[in-house]
């Protein structure tokens, strides 16, 4: 490998490969201690390989590489340690070489990188060059837990895959259509103008994909579709989509705001930090760490995985019951608020690991919203395949309720190819 800290210029864009319907994209999602990857054809969704390196830097680091085999996915595991992201990607390349597919022979058109924060600068996917790397580095102050890890992935992958173009796809880009009334915080002008204090929103790749799929399920064009989309996973947010465009969303300056999540608090009183400094001697970094990593379901129920919280609630655990109640109450309030903001709602859409798989959360989150035209079909809510997009609202309900599986990797692949096809 060459020096990953010096990516150099972006390689020439292979127009023919990018326009090929069989073109593949290697999607990389680098976290602070993990690398998720998927090799897929965005036009068909066909997956040629997928994998995860976790616990990078620890003795228990491991790599799982999966490839299609006889109608299922064959799993190949490697033990670490992988001391850093460079070593992790070296191991990924070795797994491809040993178990396939052969990346040298694959119709690889691009490497697509998930980047959490693009600020106000990036409203779409961008081919990676030196300026892009510098910009992502500058924006790390906006997402200190995410952008630095994304940047390590970009720099390392540029060294590993120097013969194909790389494209950055930003979580914030979908929300560039937020009107001023939705993205403006009522704080001093200096904060807004100099320090970029405003609402940005996240989960953009998921919202872009789910908006398109929900519109198709409703047999409407996306630009004629109004939705309240609930992306519920370990991270959770909601988005009001008007005519296919984001007009409001719950996450704000950072991904910690809005709905309650697995380990994140969601919205709290802005004066919380000063209060805890006075009464507990905690500084801002300690409070931020706790709001990100020790709050949410974990703080209320002792577990961040909603499946475990539900099991405890079913057994009568009072803490788990409270956690579920708070979780779903905040979602229900958000659905009501966004229905008011939109005026006309065609559908409420559940997506993400929790939204797609928890019938209980779906039920508890929208029960009582009949007057808004949102009426659940209880049988449909508890039935249906895990990977199926489907309606779960009562026949004749003015507002449809949908479950639409998200596929952020495929959306990143789509956007990466679109960026290569666009005039440079």
Active site residues per annotation: 171
For residue 67, CA distances in Å to 24, 87, 100 come to 15, 21, 7
Burial of 220 (0-12, 13-18, 19+ CB in 10 A): middle
The DSSP secondary structure of 34-69, one letter per residue, reads: -EEEEEEETTTTEEEEEEEEESTTSTT-EEEEEEEE
Side-chain half-sphere of 3: how many Cα atoms within 13 Å?
A: 3
Residue of 406, 415, 404 lying closest to 27 (CA atoms): 415
Distance CA 12, CA 419 (A): 13
Max Cα-Cα span within the chain: 63
- The size of the chain, in residues, is 424
- Distant-in-sequence, close-in-space partners of 273: CB < 8 Å, separation ≥ 6: 282, 284, 287, 288
- Distant-in-sequence, close-in-space partners of 275: CB < 8 Å, separation ≥ 6: 269
Rg (CA), the chain: 22
Q: What SS3 state is found at 164? A: coil
Residue of 232, 240, 229 lying closest to 182 (CA atoms): 240
Angle at CA of residue 112, ends 117 and 413, nearest 5°? 105
Residue of 234, 235, 231 lying closest to 352 (CA atoms): 231
C-beta of residue 148 within 8 angstroms of C-beta of residue 140:
yes
Number of neighbours of residue 269 by Cβ within 10 angstroms: 8
Burial of 60 (0-12, 13-18, 19+ CB in 10 A): exposed
Residue of 410, 5, 75 lying closest to 212 (CA atoms): 410
Q: Cα dihedral angle (206, 35, 105, 4), rounded to 10 degrees?
A: 120
Distance CA 401, CA 372 (A): 12
């Amino acid at each position: 490998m060459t020096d990953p800290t010096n990516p150099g210029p972006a390689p020439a864009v292979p127009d023919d490969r990018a326009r090929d319907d069989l073109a593949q994209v290697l999607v990389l999602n680098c976290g602070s201690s993990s690398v998720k990857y998927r090799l897929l054809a965005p036009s068909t969704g066909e997956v040629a390989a997928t994998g995860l390196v976790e616990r990078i830097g620890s003795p228990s680091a491991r790599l799982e590489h999966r490839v299609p085999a006889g109608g299922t996915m064959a799993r190949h595991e490697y033990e670490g340690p992988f001391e850093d992201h460079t070593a992790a990607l070296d191991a990924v390349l070795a797994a491809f070489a040993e178990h396939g597919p052969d990346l040298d022979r694959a119709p690889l058109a691009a490497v697509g990188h998930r980047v959490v924060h693009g600020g106000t600068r990036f409203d779409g996917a961008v081919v990676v060059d030196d300026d892009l790397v510098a910009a992502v580095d500058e924006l790390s102050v906006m997402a200190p837990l995410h952008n630095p890890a994304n940047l390590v992935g970009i720099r390392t992958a540029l060294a590993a895959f120097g013969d194909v173009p790389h494209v950055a796809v930003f979580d914030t880009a979908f929300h560039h259509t937020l009107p001023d009334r939705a993205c403006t915080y009522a704080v001093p002008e200096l904060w807004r103008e100099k320090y970029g204090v405003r609402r940005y929103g996240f989960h953009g790749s998921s919202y872009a994909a789910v908006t398109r799929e929900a519109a198709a399920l409703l047999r409407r064009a996306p630009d004629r579709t109004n939705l309240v989309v609930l992306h519920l996973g370990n991270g959770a947010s909601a988005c009001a989509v008007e005519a296919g465009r984001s007009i409001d969303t719950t996450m704000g300056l950072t991904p910690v705001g809005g709905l309650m999540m697995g380990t994140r608090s969601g919205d709290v009183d802005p004066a919380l930090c000063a209060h805890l400094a006075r009464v507990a001697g905690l500084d801002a970094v300690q409070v931020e760490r706790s709001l990100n990593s020790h709050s949410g379901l974990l703080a209320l129920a002792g577990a961040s995985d909603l499946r475990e919280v539900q099991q405890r609630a079913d057994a009568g655990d009072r803490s788990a019951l409270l956690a579920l109640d708070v979780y779903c109450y905040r979602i229900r309030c958000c659905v009501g608020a966004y229905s008011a903001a939109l005026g006309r709602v065609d559908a409420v859409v559940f997506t993400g690991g929790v939204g797609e798989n928890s019938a209980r959360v779906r039920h508890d989150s929208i029960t009582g919203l009949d007057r808004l035209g949102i009426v659940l079909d209880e049988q449909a809510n508890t039935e249906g395949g895990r990977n199926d997009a489907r309606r779960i609202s009562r026949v004749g309900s003015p507002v449809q309720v949908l479950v639409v599986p998200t596929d952020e990797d495929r959306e990143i692949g789509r956007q990466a190819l679109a960026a290569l096809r666009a005039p440079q």
